[in-house]
Amino acid sequence: MDFDPQKNYYEILGVGEDASADEIKKVFRKAAVKHHPDRGGSKEKFQEINEAYQVLSDQNKRQQYDAYRKGGFGAGGFGQGGFDFGGFGGGGAQFDFGDIGDLLGGMFGGGFGGGRSRRKTRGDDLEKQIEISFEEAFLGVKKKMAYTRDIVIEGATQETCGHCNGTGRVMQQVQSFMGVIQTQAACPKCHGTGTIFKKNGKELENGGVMPHKEIIELDIPAGIKDGAYLKYAARGNDAAGLPTGDLYVKINVAPSEKYSRSGNNLHTKAEVSLFDLVLGGEVQVPHPEGKTTVKIPKGTQIGQKVRVANRGFGEKGLFSHRGDMIVELQVHIPKKLSKEQEKLRKNLQELS
């Protein structure tokens, strides 16, 4: 045979002879990333660690390998012991690469044929988006949203897939730089579910479900932040015989010309007269709830910010609190002064 059973797989992989299955898998993953040819590693070294992993990750193969190293097999080696190593090193290698596909498929773009398929346990979750105004985010709002989800076709019956015998997986051979490898893939007939659906004797596509338009009323709470998600349980896609998935709605808050947000604080700007800054006073400032009164201390500077407590955003929750309103004061300069303003200007000029 073209495989050398005298190789020390423990040494090749860099683990002890008492290494656990989890440790072997962890070390292999790290070594595979380091030596993968797509990342500049050695093809020969990559083949060697794959070869070692194929033996040490399989309990039966590992037991036979350990027995051979301790002299438990005759001169015929593994070939006579029921374990065929033929083809490990050559171009015609055919062995189950499912585990390696599982480990490396995600790292290198699924180049190992996708690994083992996994059965569905529930319907797919859905994600939708909706935009609301800044004021709606502050106050909270109810909005209706139309969307499409999969629902189970009424009267559909479920049967075991004959193509994969209900396993949801089929074996396939893939040509790679290591030769022909055999791996598992999702059954093309049932798409990995192991079941097919029929109605009135005719096979149904799409797993026995069909698209259905629905309208849902969203209860968007006051104080919600831009980019937050609302979850609606069992409002996602159906899957025959399985729990329905969930619906996640992303809230996009449109920017405002009047306001901005920092944490739970509400920021805005207000124009006041120069006399208000100098002498102090009160002004009415627009607010999402209407208007709010802002007290201006004497001698306030242009551009100074005044804080109005508990007039910002509020959030629901055990430790929630309402933020403040931060008002940046800007001076409104009139083009023409009234008689009273002109008199006040002269008095201020004399005092300065």
Render pLDDT for 193-240 as a digit per residue (tens, 0 to 9): 888 999 998 988 888 899 999 999 999 999 999 999 999 999 999 988
Q: Is residue 308 part of a domain?
A: yes
Same domain, 132 and 247: yes
Q: For the residues 41-54, what does the mean pLDDT come to?
A: 83
Q: Is residue 192 part of a domain?
A: yes
Same domain, 239 and 271: no
Q: Is residue 4 part of a domain?
A: no
pLDDT at 328 over 90: yes
Domain that holds residue 137: 126-253
The domain boundary, picked from 253, 271, 290, lies at: 253
Q: Is residue 210 part of a domain?
A: yes
Contacts of 290 (CB under 8 A, 6+ apart): none
CB 117 within 8 A of CB 184: yes
Residue carrying structure tokens 């009415």: 284
The domain boundary, picked from 200, 222, 253, lies at: 253
CA distances from 152 to 186, 192, 200, 212, 310 (A): 22, 18, 15, 10, 49
How far apart are alpha carbons 189 and 176 in whole angstroms?
A: 25
Same domain, 244 and 139: yes
Q: What's this model's pTM, rounded to 2 decimal places?
A: 0.61
Same domain, 241 and 157: yes
Q: For the residues 86-104, what does the mean pLDDT come to?
A: 43
Q: Is residue 112 part of a domain?
A: no
Same domain, 15 and 46: yes
- What pLDDT, on the 0 to 100 scale, is given for residue 30? 86
Same domain, 271 and 316: yes
CB 27 within 8 A of CB 49: no
Total structural domains in the chain?
Answer: 3
Q: Is residue 284 part of a domain?
A: yes
Burial of 212 by CB count in 10 Å (0-12 exposed, 13-18 middle, 19+ buried)? middle
Same domain, 138 and 247: yes
Same domain, 217 and 139: yes
Strand partners, 310: none
The domain boundary, picked from 62, 90, 118, lies at: 90
Q: For the residues 79-84, what does the mean pLDDT come to?
A: 41
The more confident residue out of 228 and 17 is: 228
